[in-house]
Structure 1
């Protein structure tokens, strides 16, 4: 079984939003409310910078702003980030049952590896957005995780909170499910994403 990280296993948006608001403060701008950032939590720097400073990839200065954001985020990423309620018990149940599970995230290893360790998420594998040279929705990260778990892709279920998670899972030949508690993205029509299991929650509720 494979999971996305941000918006699926952990609620990290408060720390992401704080990094973005710190950048606004340095530019003489007031903070935006957490609710403004939350739907974009799964988009990382791209989503936070779009909301905070109205910039997007490809625009002038974006790469410099992204580097600044990531440096700020790295300094505070442990402060408020926690697993979603019920997630730890669900993962413990998988481990106790002898079912291998791992994490596939678009978060770079620079952040994903120490963060999962700090939160004691005992995944057998953690594949980041820079592990394979491809990020989701490309299937390569999911296929690499399945390889490391020595589980055939067709026997894997991938759970995420974004349409790209479903796209990547299907491209990798895996079953897919949507995390009901996740960020889901603005105006998400998750019923149209084509997931095999639709919305799920910890414990199956």
Structure 2
């Protein structure tokens, strides 16, 4: 197994635990509408699928509802205000990035999150701590988000690396499908928002990791000291 030249990461559920604020936005809506808040753990598995899944799980809303668009905008506005209240990097992420950089491996981020939301979070959680991704591709960076391979291919081009020389780490089915379609090696982050590990193993991941630092253990053996 050859050493990749770059490792790209999904953002929510892979580098950052944003479920508390995503679920919190849904619960803010419920409370405003006179309903009790739901436990975080009941909403957490839906965080990887974005606003549509969270609105369905938390409020029973679907795109067929006449006020869906208005409620989606309401959700995004509430989430935007609180997106960094409780969101944090998963344990081990900074140590992982340090190890990759020390060995000359490029890393970057490919997320379906809109750049208006993602960029401030990336700045505060990573760039302000002197961790600079070689590429950042957001949900509005290409006409088609993941599971289409276009965002991953754009990240590889921005980093000036062949996609086949890259690995992609993510916690969702769209991450695995996009990685395979782009010719990257897919790695499933089971510590993220995977609702059913057994089902997730049908997504085609080449490897799975139970915590961020586990990635070092599946890379071709090097002196990681």
- TM-score w.r.t. the length of structure 2 is 0.87
2:145 matches 1:139:
no
Q: Is the Cα–Cα contact under 8 Å of residues 112 and 145 in structure 2 kept in the other structure? A: yes
Shift of 1:193: 1.1
Q: Is the Cα–Cα contact under 8 Å of residues 96 and 213 in structure 2 kept in the other structure? A: yes
1:39-78 map, 5 Å: 39-78=45-84
Which of 194-203 and 123-132 deviates more?
194-203
Name stretches of at least 5 consecutive residues in structure 2 with no aligned partner. 1-6, 218-225
1:182-193 map, 5 Å: 182-186=192-196, 189-193=199-203
Runs of 4+ off more than 4 Å: none
1:158-169 map, 5 Å: 158-169=168-179
- State the Cα deviation string for residues 17-63 of structure 1 (Å, max 9, x = none): 11111111111111001011111111121121111111123432211
Secondary structure of the equivalent of 2:50? helix
2:130 matches 1:124:
no
* Alpha-carbon distance between aligned partners in 2 of 1:140 and 1:59, rounded to the nearest angstrom: 31
Name stretches of at least 5 consecutive residues in structure 1 with no aligned partner. none
Q: Is the Cα–Cα contact under 8 Å of residues 112 and 126 in structure 1 kept in the other structure? A: no
The count of residues paired between Structure 1 and Structure 2 equals 205
Q: Is the Cα–Cα contact under 8 Å of residues 3 and 103 in structure 1 kept in the other structure? A: yes
1:193-204 map, 5 Å: 193-199=203-209, 201-204=211-214
TM-align CA RMSD: 1.4
1:23-38 map, 5 Å: 23-38=29-44
